[in-house]
Amino acid sequence: MEQFTLNLIVVGLTFALYVGIAIWARAGSTSEFYAAGRGVHPVLNGMATGADWMSAASFISMAGIIAFGGYDTSAYLMGWTGGYVLLAMLLAPYLRKFGKFTVPEFIGDRFYSQTARLIAVICLIIASVTYVIGQMKGVGVAFSGFLNMSYEMGLWTGALIVAVYAVLGGMKGITYTQVAQYVVLIIAYTIPAIFISLTITGNPIPALGLFSNTAAEGVPLLEKLDTVIQDLGFASYTAQTDTTLNIFLFTLSLMIGTAGLPHVIVRFFTVPRVADARTSAGWALVFIALLYLTAPAVGAMARLNFVDTMWPNGPQQDAIAIEEMPNWVQNWERTGLLAFEDKNGDGRIEYWADEEKNEAVKVDQDIMVLANPEIAGLPSWVIALVVAGGLAAALSTAAGLLMAISSAVSHDLIKSMINPDISEKGELMAARISMLVAILAATWLGLNPPGFAAQTVALAFGIAAASLFPAILMGIFSKRMNSQGAIAGMLAGLLVTVIYIFLHKGWFFIPGTNSFTDDDPLLLSIKSTSFGAVGAMINFVVAYVVSNATQEPPEEVQDLVESIRVPKGAGAAQAH
């Protein structure tokens, strides 16, 4: 059977599963639409959070980023997991006790201010929309690369599937499809990883294989990798190349950004009790760690595999002859992710760090995950599974983001600001329409991606870290924090961070309008991607100063803070 027929069958089966779940998990009330009726088991919510969190970037790109970045890129591993510790202790249980539907709703109620709520809505929409563009692009690329479909057709097919379960089931439909998508994506990620680890180290568990000896030479894998890539002129894999300050701040920005992203926070509104919100964060991290502990192993092993392929007898001997290239190399050369140029015309491709003599002119980082099944010589159904896994990762994250965007529109804008008298049935209809509009907007952005799409992840994390996370944190842990302080803090953190990003990436990401670059940043060695943590500190300081200079919050708000701090009575809050 042709590979693409098999891909179609496997992807078709998973899509049928998602639609089946959607029909079973329809939402009948706003509570079901916004918070899955608060009846999701904590372990299942953990799985759904895993799929919600792990995007096309985690699935396809992260191992490749680590493969080419080595130690420095550990910031992603620690940053995208460490945020869950903050969520579990500092945010999730109290927001679950608060017992409402959206993050801006908490900020608006706690700081007794529609202005604060509106700022939170704006932050939420910018962060989530920039994030969703990448997911939609991932869906289009997967379809066009593996299913012989045009990019546009692929994007519309993906959007249609999301529309079916998100419009019909809201958070409830999204939750249970995310559980299924987690299972698909983790199986698809793990199977090729186990085989590549077995081949290289003889250890079936990739995370252990990373710190084992190679099966062929009996030397530690990381030691061998360090030696071979340094022989080719690349930087050492295990050594630090970036400054300690920047790695520190980058990790911190990713951690607090993770904890502050609304589409992750709202997942914890769906569990029955406050205690469940805490354990559910633990389960979420277990399911995320299954992939995040495998990814660095895949990265290191795939890099070693690639070097061994290019230099079959080591860099001291001849490089690989063009006619001896294995099949997978030729397959991926066709997609443009790999490109070779025999500069010295000797019929061999020499892979070097030095651009002058390097003949492997393009080695896309995504190849490290995508080509794995072929490198390991796995059967074609495994390749089909990887395609389905990549799609599951992209669709589940897109759905979570669209949920956050549409509930901000229907609940925070329409219900709270434009038409407070709307009936529950009317709000449910408004929520479904908002969802549909959000999907259409995201699809349009996927079809016409702005040139800056790849750079906006820094923006999403920067905004979440510098404005949302500190505001929620102070709302829970400081009874004295008032609306003036919170608003001033959010605006200060947001503006400083966005301006710092624009100064380095160009104003509104327009190329050429930047005054600095990330290689030579404005402040010390702090890159624009690492600035979210600094923005958060500015937010805290400004909020503290302004709050202490103005009136303390009213009695009933202080009582609200008292009440969200204890779990007792969360069941009653459901009646709101």
Report 207-236 residues binding another protein (CB under 8 A).
207, 210-213, 219-224, 226
Residue 33 · residue 184 · CB < 8 Å = no
Instruction: Report the run of H or E that residue 31 belongs to, with start and end.
Output: helix 30-35
Binding to another protein by residue 306, rule CB under 8 A? no
Judged by CB, which is closer to another protein: 426, or 567?
567
CA distances to 267, 318, 444 from 437, rounded to whole Å, are 22, 58, 10
The 8 Å CB, 24+ separation contacts for 406-410 are 406/166, 406/431, 406/434, 406/435, 406/437, 406/438, 407/33, 407/34, 407/101, 407/102, 407/171, 407/266, 407/431, 407/434, 408/102, 408/104, 408/121, 408/124, 408/125, 408/262, 409/434, 409/437, 409/438, 410/434
Judged by CB, which is closer to another protein: 88, or 404?
88
Binding to another protein by residue 191, rule CB under 8 A? no
Binding to another protein by residue 574, rule CB under 8 A? no
Going residue by residue from 256 to 275, which x/- string records binding to another protein, judged by CB under 8 A?
A: -----------------xxx
Binding to another protein by residue 293, rule CB under 8 A? yes
**What is the smallest separation between the CB atom of 524 and another protein, expressed in angstroms?**
16
Burial 495-526, CB ≥16 within 10 A → b, else e: ebbbebbbbbbbeebeeeebeeebeebeeebb
Binding to another protein by residue 244, rule CB under 8 A? yes
DSSP-derived letter for residue 89 is: I
Residue 45 · residue 288 · CB < 8 Å = no
Stretch that binds another protein, among 283-291, 315-323, 371-379, 548-556 (CB under 8 A): 283-291
Among 9, 150, 569, 574, binds another protein (CB under 8 A): 569
**What is the smallest separation between the CB atom of 546 and another protein, expressed in angstroms?**
24
**What is the smallest separation between the CB atom of 292 and another protein, expressed in angstroms?**
6
**What is the smallest separation between the CB atom of 275 and another protein, expressed in angstroms?**
6
Binding to another protein by residue 81, rule CB under 8 A? yes
Query: What is the Cα–Cα distance from 507 to 56, expressed in whole angstroms?
Result: 27
Q: Which of 450, 436, 451, 454 is nearest to 159 (CA)?
A: 436
Binding to another protein by residue 247, rule CB under 8 A? yes
Query: What is the Cα–Cα distance from 478 to 573, expressed in whole angstroms?
Result: 22
Judged by CB, which is closer to another protein: 247, or 394?
247
Which single residue is written with the structure tokens 């890159």?
Answer: 527
- In sequence order, what are the beta bridge partners of 320? 349
Among 315, 426, 449, 567, binds another protein (CB under 8 A): 567
Residue 170 · residue 158 · CB < 8 Å = no
Binding to another protein by residue 285, rule CB under 8 A? yes
Q: Which of 352, 98, 384 is nearest to 233 (CA)?
A: 352
Binding to another protein by residue 93, rule CB under 8 A? yes
**What is the smallest separation between the CB atom of 576 and another protein, expressed in angstroms?**
16
Instruction: Report the run of H or E that residue 178 belongs to, with start and end.
Output: helix 151-201
Binding to another protein by residue 558, rule CB under 8 A? no
Binding to another protein by residue 187, rule CB under 8 A? no
Judged by CB, which is closer to another protein: 272, or 553?
272
**What is the smallest separation between the CB atom of 62 and another protein, expressed in angstroms?**
12
**What is the smallest separation between the CB atom of 135 and another protein, expressed in angstroms?**
24
Residue 507 · residue 513 · CB < 8 Å = yes
Report 45-74 residues binding another protein (CB under 8 A).
71, 74
DSSP-derived letter for residue 269 is: G
**What is the smallest separation between the CB atom of 207 and another protein, expressed in angstroms?**
6
Judged by CB, which is closer to another protein: 244, or 551?
244
Residue 107 · residue 487 · CB < 8 Å = no
Binding to another protein by residue 103, rule CB under 8 A? no
Stretch that binds another protein, among 89-97, 175-183, 411-419, 440-448 (CB under 8 A): 89-97
Stretch that binds another protein, among 88-96, 135-143, 480-488, 521-529 (CB under 8 A): 88-96
User: Alpha helices, DSSP H only, in 311-379?
Assistant: 327-335, 367-370, 372-375
Among 39, 282, 315, 506, binds another protein (CB under 8 A): 282
Query: What is the Cα–Cα distance from 220 to 154, expressed in whole angstroms?
Result: 43
List the beta strands (DSSP E) in 36-117.
none
Binding to another protein by residue 160, rule CB under 8 A? no
Binding to another protein by residue 251, rule CB under 8 A? yes
C-alpha dihedral sign at 553, 559, 563, 569:
negative
Among 281, 301, 349, 384, binds another protein (CB under 8 A): 281
Query: What is the Cα–Cα distance from 185 to 389, expressed in whole angstroms?
Result: 4
Residue 564 · residue 476 · CB < 8 Å = yes
**What is the smallest separation between the CB atom of 258 and another protein, expressed in angstroms?**
11
Binding to another protein by residue 38, rule CB under 8 A? no
The residue count for binding another protein (CB under 8 A) is 52
Binding to another protein by residue 506, rule CB under 8 A? no
Judged by CB, which is closer to another protein: 334, or 568?
568
Amino acid present at 466: A
- In sequence order, what are the beta bridge partners of 220? 213
Stretch that binds another protein, among 4-12, 20-28, 153-161, 567-575 (CB under 8 A): 567-575
Query: What is the Cα–Cα distance from 377 to 431, expressed in whole angstroms?
Result: 47
Among 84, 195, 306, 461, binds another protein (CB under 8 A): 84
Binding to another protein by residue 88, rule CB under 8 A? yes
Residues that bind another protein (CB under 8 A): 71, 74, 77-78, 81-82, 84-85, 88-90, 93, 207, 210-213, 219-224, 226, 238, 240, 244, 247-248, 251-252, 273-275, 278-279, 281-282, 285-286, 289, 292-293, 296, 562, 565-571
